[in-house]
């Protein structure tokens, strides 16, 4: 920032003053220069100062001030322009702003085509998959001129996290009720909002207990997850759709032994409170241009009924109502895994345990043989996700129970495991 008055300053041996030299140096290294000229009377200025002002006028627009308040106002205005020009502050909502550094080459036409097909089928969307992808983005208000918006990159970008680093979702699974390291299962998912939702929901569902009921209500035994998939999906997709993308934090999905927690960076809109989430309330999306395609693709609803639907489904499933809280700059949703006991259940097992039982034969097998049959290469994931839960449930037993770490250790199905496996095969 340069403040220029009447005096030129003391020239050095080359005849250039410190102020002039600083301007020349800033110009040479490409620094932004904000120049403010004091007063109106040009005849009072040193001739060398007048020459410097003419040099400045040939390169940029400078502003004039007559008092300190005028200078303060002009400086603030210049700084705001600077920040806006470089997309360091927003004058438009996040999802409506152009994605800095992105071009149309960064948008996947295949992903737009997939969306159009799904939206046309699920919501009778007026456009179908034959629509040119640029026309589709225009119709969805996902372009700022010829630049894809942040919402466009989150929905259809080839590599969204290249531009929006924190848009990833971190999924963690803990066997206990507290955050403890090492984390048995930890995945960081990247991709579009649709891909983040699909991967994150699959992560949770693959680790929840699967309940197999009795046949007293029909020929087929009912099969249900301990937390209904619709509730898990609603919690995760809402976090992806409504999070504060200006935050450096990411959505976190943490599955504990007794609960599922979904951490969503940001706070509730001013018109909503934690209490209002349990009553009929308006839909106030933080990112409306991001939420609209998620609705059209049947990932979310627009009526503001998401939390009410989760509450109703949890209660109908014998689960406690979801819990909501604000903590550390995030909205946290908690889903409990404990059922009321009103439902008659014969067995429970995670999807990984059932996959493990399916690869057993009548003979004993080592852990390496079982991993090979499951096509797994990561031993901790096999142990914590498959073998240990099967041992704890009594479906599998060690051949050398007194020496768990024996190099000759093998595993076999128990009577309970064989009975359960037979039931699974009948129901398949």
**Position 69 pLDDT exceeds 50:** yes
Distances (CA, A) of 302 to 281, 285, 291, 307: 11, 9, 8, 12
Percent of the chain with pLDDT over 70: 92
Q: What is the pLDDT of residue 340?
A: 42
**166-336 shares its CATH topology with 347-427:** no
Task: Identify the band that residue 304 occupies on the pLDDT scale cut at 50, 70 and 90.
Answer: low
Q: What is the pLDDT of residue 346?
A: 40
Token code pair at residue 14: 């080359």
Domain ranges of the chain: 2-85, 94-163, 166-336, 347-427
Helix residue ranges, H only, 192-304: 193-205, 229-242, 288-296
Q: What is the pLDDT of residue 344?
A: 37
For the purposes of burial, counting CB atoms within 10 Å of the CB of 280, is it exposed (0-12), middle (13-18) or buried (19 or more)? exposed
CA distance 286 to 380: 39
* Structure confidence by residue, pLDDT tens digits, 112-148: 999 999 999 999 999 999 999 999 999 999 999 999 9
Q: What is the pLDDT of residue 29?
A: 92
CB 266 within 8 A of CB 242: yes
* Structure confidence by residue, pLDDT tens digits, 312-367: 999 888 899 999 998 888 999 999 987 543 333 344 566 788 889 889 887 899 99
Q: What is the pLDDT of residue 342?
A: 36
**Position 5 pLDDT exceeds 50:** yes
Q: What is the pLDDT of residue 12?
A: 92
pLDDT, mean of residues 64-81:
82
SS3 for 323-382 is: EEEEECCEEEEEEECCCCCCCCCCEEEEHHHHHHHHCCCCCCECHHHHHHHHCCCCHHHH
Task: Identify the band that residue 427 occupies on the pLDDT scale cut at 50, 70 and 90.
Answer: low
384 or 25, greater pLDDT: 25
Which span out of 3-7, 192-196, 338-342, 375-379 was modeled with the highest average pLDDT?
192-196
* Structure confidence by residue, pLDDT tens digits, 8-31: 999 999 999 999 999 999 999 988
Kindly state the greatest CA–CA separation across the chain. 104
Q: What is the pLDDT of residue 112?
A: 96
CA distance 347 to 421: 11
**Position 198 pLDDT exceeds 70:** yes
Pick the CATH number of 166-336 from 3.40.50.10310, 3.30.565.60, 3.60.21.10, 3.10.180.10: 3.30.565.60
Pick the CATH number of 347-427 from 1.10.10.10, 1.20.1060.10, 1.20.1640.10, 1.10.3430.10: 1.10.10.10
CA distance 7 to 324: 64
CA distance 376 to 391: 18
Which run of H or E residues covers position 319? none
Mean pLDDT of the chain: 86
Characterize 294-331 residue by residue with b for buried, 16 or more Cβ atoms within 10 angstroms of its Cβ, and e for exposed: bbbbebbbeebebbeebbebbeebebbebebeeeeebb
């Amino acid at each position: 920032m340069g403040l220029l008055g009447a005096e030129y300053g003391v020239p050095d041996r080359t005849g250039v003053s410190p102020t002039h030299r600083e301007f020349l140096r800033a110009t040479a290294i490409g620094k932004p220069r904000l120049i403010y000229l004091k007063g109106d009377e040009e005849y009072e200025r040193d001739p060398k100062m007048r020459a410097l002002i003419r040099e400045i006028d040939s390169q940029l627009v400078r502003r004039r001030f007559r008092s300190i308040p005028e200078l303060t106002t002009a400086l603030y205005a210049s700084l705001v322009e600077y920040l806006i020009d470089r997309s360091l502050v927003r004058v438009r909502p996040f999802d409506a702003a152009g994605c800095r550094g992105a071009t149309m080459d960064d948008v996947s036409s295949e992903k737009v085509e997939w969306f159009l097909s799904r939206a046309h089928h699920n919501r009778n969307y007026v456009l179908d998959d034959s629509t040119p992808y640029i026309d589709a983005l225009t119709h969805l208000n996902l372009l700022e001129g010829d630049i894809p918006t942040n919402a466009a990159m989150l929905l259809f970008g080839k590599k969204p996290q290249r531009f929006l680093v924190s848009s990833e979702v971190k999924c963690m699974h803990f066997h206990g009720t507290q955050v403890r390291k090492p984390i048995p299962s930890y995945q960081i998912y990247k991709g579009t909002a649709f891909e983040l939702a699909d991967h994150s929901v699959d992560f949770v569902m693959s680790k929840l207990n699967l309940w197999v009921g009795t046949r007293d209500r029909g020929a087929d035994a009912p099969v249900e997850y301990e937390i209904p998939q619709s509730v898990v999906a609603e919690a995760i997709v809402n976090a992806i759709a409504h999070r504060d993308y200006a935050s450096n934090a990411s959505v976190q999905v943490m599955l504990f032994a007794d609960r599922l927690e979904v951490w969503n960076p940001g706070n509730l809109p001013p018109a909503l409170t934690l209490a209002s989430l349990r009553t009929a309330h308006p839909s106030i999306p933080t990112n409306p241009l991001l939420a609209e395609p998620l609705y059209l693709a049947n990932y979310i609803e627009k009526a503001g009924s998401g939390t009410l639907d989760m509450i109703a489904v949890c209660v109908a499933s014998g689960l406690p109502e979801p819990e909501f809280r604000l903590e550390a700059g995030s909205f946290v949703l908690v889903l409990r895994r404990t059922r009321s006991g009103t439902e008659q259940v014969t067995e429970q097992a995670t999807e990984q345990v059932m996959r493990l039982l399916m690869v057993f034969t009548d003979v004993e097998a080592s852990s390496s043989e079982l991993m090979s049959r499951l096509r797994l290469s990561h031993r901790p994931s096999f142990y914590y996700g498959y073998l240990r839960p099967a041992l704890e449930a009594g479906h599998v037993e060690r051949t050398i129970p007194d020496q768990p770490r024996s190099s000759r250790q093998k595993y076999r199905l128990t009577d309970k495991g064989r009975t359960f496996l037979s039931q699974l095969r009948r129901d398949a």
